[in-house]
Structure 1
């Protein structure tokens, strides 16, 4: 896992990602995760293209924790499936999808700035 150095003082900073996991505040979390101000929970999604409306229910349920959400789609950017995008839009949730590395770095910077942001991250190998 490559270390991320953006603004080391950020609370709940993503320290590393790779090998199918994320290291956050010294703890390793395997698989896809949802990271909000309240905590880190597993995210039941396989890939961006196959994401269903049900796959984003956890993101919708946590919407009081953030202004917008960054969605990391894995090794490379992929469009989130239409059903998932439509469910997020219908719930009034602002989101931006990007590759997972970019989502991790952007999350760290925004959290360090005091922004209320969340990250839904698919792992990379």
Structure 2
């Protein structure tokens, strides 16, 4: 008897640089992930966002949960830079998180550098 396929939330329990990105996903830690990612101090999580989705406070709840360990949040907004809404910027400021929106490619490169420098960085990458 076949067991049904179990769908689990994507989670990698550690920090790792992004090896490559594009074609709707990312490679890291010798693995590939299709879709967007949250790169947090507690690990790497699949993020249910696609290019063009609204950047709302609700979409960043996992980031807020780890705010004490994050100084900088890089937001890769897709192919193009999109400003963060005022209410989202205000929430980050309340939590003393510096937020910086940029294209996903620029965010990946910046994240890798800051991670290598052992900075308190997190990232939200929308897949391109």
TM-score normalised by the shorter chain: which range applies?
0.7 to 0.9
Q: Give the gaps of 5 or more residues in structure 2.
A: 1-14
1:26 to 11, 27, 30: 30
> Aligned equivalents of 1:58 and 1:112: distance in 2?
23
Aligned residues: CA RMSD: 1.8
User: 1:52-78: per-residue Cα shift (whole Å, max 9, x none)?
Assistant: 111121111122332211110001111
SS in 2 for 1:15: strand
TM-score (norm 2): 0.78
SS at match of 1:75: coil
Question: What's 2:97 paired with?
Answer: 93
- Given that residues 60 and 93 in structure 1 are in contact (C-alpha distance below 8 angstroms), is that contact kept between their aligned partners in structure 2? no
Give how far 1:90 is off. Answer: 3.0
Q: Deviation at 1:87?
A: 2.6
Match of 2:74 in 1: 70
Aligned residue pairs, count: 114
- Answer whether contact 2:78 2:127 (CA < 8 A) is retained: yes
Higher strand proportion:
2
Matching residue of 1:39: 43
The 10-residue stretch of structure 1 (70-79 or 44-53) with the greater mean CA deviation from structure 2: 44-53
**Shift of residue 20 of structure 1?**
0.8
Q: Unaligned stretches of 5+ in structure 1?
A: 1-10
Q: Residue 119 of structure 1 aligns to a residue in which SS?
A: strand
With over 3 angstroms needed to count, the CA separation of the structure-2 counterparts of 1:99 and 1:16, relative to structure 1, is: same
Using the TM superposition, give the Cα deviation of residue 47 of structure 1 relative to its aligned residue in structure 2, in angstroms.
4.2
Q: CA deviation at 1:93?
A: 1.9
Distance 1:96 1:21, change over 3 A: same
